[in-house]
């Protein structure tokens, strides 16, 4: 491992410790005393501006910039460290401006879609609050026509070129003038090949309202949040961001997850082993960095890989490929048992799509036209 990767890995450990030792169970309220992370904060204070910038960049990639730098800034203020306080405040101000603009646009978009009788549910993006995702992701349970009309006419949005995966998943990306983030809209289905219809239907039927920055947004229930995260991490990307660990831990620790309902939804999509493995992986990671997350015994027993751990590589927390392949096979077998014709016809396309994306990445350094 070169020095750059080694330093990035160390920064990831540092950020992980700050989150899991420096925050209370909700991962939004810092602990009354930051002595639990005093050595980590002192290490941040000794960083050069270049190293601090690298730490901030990694925190941004993992959607934990606000949560991590709030701790750093608070300690810097306590100790009168003006240099780190200034650097933290500059980064927080930039990110706060981006987030405020994105949330304002998001309210306008969801409101306009509601007026067009094509109500949307905001998925993934708001899960990280007070941080925010790099895209604005929406799920629409209806047809694409009103979506296209609203996005093109109301917001003058340009449709981005669609990859093979986008077409199979029935999703579109829009570029809106004046908005930094892409708006990604999933229509009617979920999953990398659009294989999940019943599970997707649950997102709209069980949505909740959440107040964010003085605005109300339709979001998935806690159970659907976990199902969507599992699909994204265990069945598509095969890597985690640090925010996935913190967001999921906050949901579970807060007591808001109905595990019986979670299992019902997961079995509907044939992904219960993946959900159990996803949660076991989160619990293992939280424990590794000084936190604690208790899962129901029945759930950990359902995990195919209870001791599964992620490996930091290429700026992300990577899932081993062997367990991922086993989960894919399990999903396909379950679809066959349930006679889920949509999943049966689409899931076999996934290995070829993944292989094409891998070849394209090795040849061009970019898999966007495929994946």
What phi, psi does 239 have (nearest 5°)? -150, 155
Whole-angstrom distance, CA of residue 11 vs CA of residue 329: 35
pLDDT at 371 over 90: no
Tell me, what's the pLDDT at 22?
94
> Residue 158 forms beta bridges with which residues?
175
Report yes or no: 65 and 91 within 8 Å, Cβ to Cβ. Answer: yes
Give the tens place of pLDDT for each residue, 168-207.
999 999 999 999 999 999 999 999 889 999 999 999 999 9
Contacts for 345 with CB less than 8 Å, ≥ 6 apart: none
Report yes or no: 220 and 137 within 8 Å, Cβ to Cβ. Answer: no
Tell me, what's the pLDDT at 356?
56
Going from the N-terminus, what domains does the chain have, and what CATH number goes with each?
A: 3-364 (3.30.460.40)
Give the tens place of pLDDT for each residue, 298-308.
787 777 665 67
How many CB atoms neighbour CB 93 within 10 A? 10
pLDDT at 367 over 70: no
Tell me, what's the pLDDT at 347?
78
Share of the chain above pLDDT 90, in %: 71
């Amino acid at each position: 491992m070169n020095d750059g990767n080694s330093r990035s890995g160390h920064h990831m450990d540092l950020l992980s410790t700050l989150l899991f030792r420096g925050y209370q169970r909700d991962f939004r309220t810092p602990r009354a005393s930051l002595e639990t992370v005093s050595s980590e904060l002192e290490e941040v204070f000794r960083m050069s501006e270049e190293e601090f910038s690298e730490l901030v960049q990694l925190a941004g990639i993992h959607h934990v910039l606000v949560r991590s730098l709030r701790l750093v800034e608070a300690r810097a203020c306590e100790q009168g460290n003006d240099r780190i306080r200034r650097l933290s405040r500059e980064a927080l101000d930039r990110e706060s401006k981006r987030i405020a603009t994105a949330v304002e646009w998001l309210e306008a978009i969801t409101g306009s879609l509601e007026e067009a009788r094509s109500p949307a549910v905001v998925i993934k993006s708001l899960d990280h609050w007070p941080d925010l995702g790099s895209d604005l992701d929406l799920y629409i349970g209806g047809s694409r026509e009103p979506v296209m009309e609203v996005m093109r006419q109301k917001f003058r949005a340009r449709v981005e070129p669609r990859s093979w995966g986008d077409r199979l998943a029935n999703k579109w990306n829009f570029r809106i003038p004046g908005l930094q983030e892409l708006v990604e809209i999933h229509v009617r289905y979920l999953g990398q090949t659009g294989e999940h219809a019943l599970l997707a239907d649950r997102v709209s039927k069980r949505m909740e309202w959440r107040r964010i920055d003085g605005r109300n947004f339709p979001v998935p229930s806690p159970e659907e949040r976990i199902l969507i995260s599992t699909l994204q991490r265990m069945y598509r990307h095969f890597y985690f961001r640090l925010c996935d660990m913190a967001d999921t831990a906050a949901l579970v620790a807060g007591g808001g997850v109905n595990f019986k309902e979670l299992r019902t939804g997961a079995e509907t999509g044939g992904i219960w082993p993946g959900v159990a493995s996803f949660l076991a992986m989160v619990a293992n990671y939280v424990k590794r960095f000084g936190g604690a997350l208790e899962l129901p015994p029945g759930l950990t027993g359902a995990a195919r890989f209870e001791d599964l751990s992620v490996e930091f590589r290429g700026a992300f927390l990577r899932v081993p490929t062997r367990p991922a392949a086993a989960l894919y096979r399990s999903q396909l077998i379950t679809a066959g048992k349930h006679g889920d014709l949509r999943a049966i016809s689409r899931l076999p396309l996934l290995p070829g799509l993944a292989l094409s994306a891998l070849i394209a990445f090795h040849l061009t350094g970019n898999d966007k036209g495929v994946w």
